[in-house]
Structure 1
């Protein structure tokens, strides 16, 4: 099975989720959601950059599955995630994000960026503010 997304927590508290360009399947999408959930295992503050530069639009059933996952994990996300940045230069992917968010709002601040530099800067600012608040 080729991965739909790669979840990199090597720079924690900043997590980077990079969509690979592979078509979503029930199996690889489920693996992506499990990998994402694993980022919360240590129950510490984090922020996530979703790099959708190469993303392939998932089928609508998986978009709904993502929205359901968010609703199931709402409290955990709200407690530990300081914010999410979405990198997508592709207008179609931006439309899909808006559709996913219409199924289920986001429990944390989020922004959509056209490049990773702006996303990184915003996420680092969120993490810095979280450290000062603690």
Structure 2
């Protein structure tokens, strides 16, 4: 099976999800969602950068499955996720994100960027805002 996305959690509070460019299949998409769920196992505050510069357009059924995942993980995201940054350079992939959010929005702030550096900068600002609210 070819991997749909890789998830890097080497930095404790910053998760990087990188789409590989492989077509979504039921098997690799389910694996992606399963791995995405695991990032909440430690119950710590985190931010996520989705690097979709190489992403292909997932099947509509997978877009709906992503929306269902958002709904099922709403409370975990609300409690532990500071926000999500999307790095998307392709207009079609931006449209896919809008479709997913038309099925189910997400409970945390998000923003779309053209570069990883912009995404990292924004994530650092939302991390700081949340830390100030907690203190």
Q: TM-score normalised to the size of structure 2?
A: 0.97
- Is 1:71 aligned with 2:80? no
2:4 matched residue in structure 1: 4
Cα root mean square deviation, aligned: 0.7
Question: What stretches of structure 1 of length at least 5 have no aligned partner?
Answer: none
Q: How far did 1:128 drift?
A: 1.8
Question: What stretches of structure 2 of length at least 5 have no aligned partner?
Answer: none
1:91 matched residue in structure 2: 91
1:113 matched residue in structure 2: 113
Q: How far did 1:11 drift?
A: 1.0
Q: How many residues end up aligned between the 2 structures?
A: 134
Q: Which runs of 4+ in 1 moved over 3 A?
A: none
| Distance (whole Å) between structure 1 residues aligned to residue 24 and residue 105 of structure 2 | 22
Q: How far did 1:124 drift?
A: 1.0
| Distance (whole Å) between structure 2 residues aligned to residue 24 and residue 5 of structure 1 | 9
Q: How far did 1:106 drift?
A: 1.1
Q: How far did 1:132 drift?
A: 2.5
| Distance (whole Å) between structure 2 residues aligned to residue 46 and residue 91 of structure 1 | 27
Q: TM-score normalised to the size of structure 1?
A: 0.97
SS at match of 1:65: helix
- Is 1:22 aligned with 2:22? yes
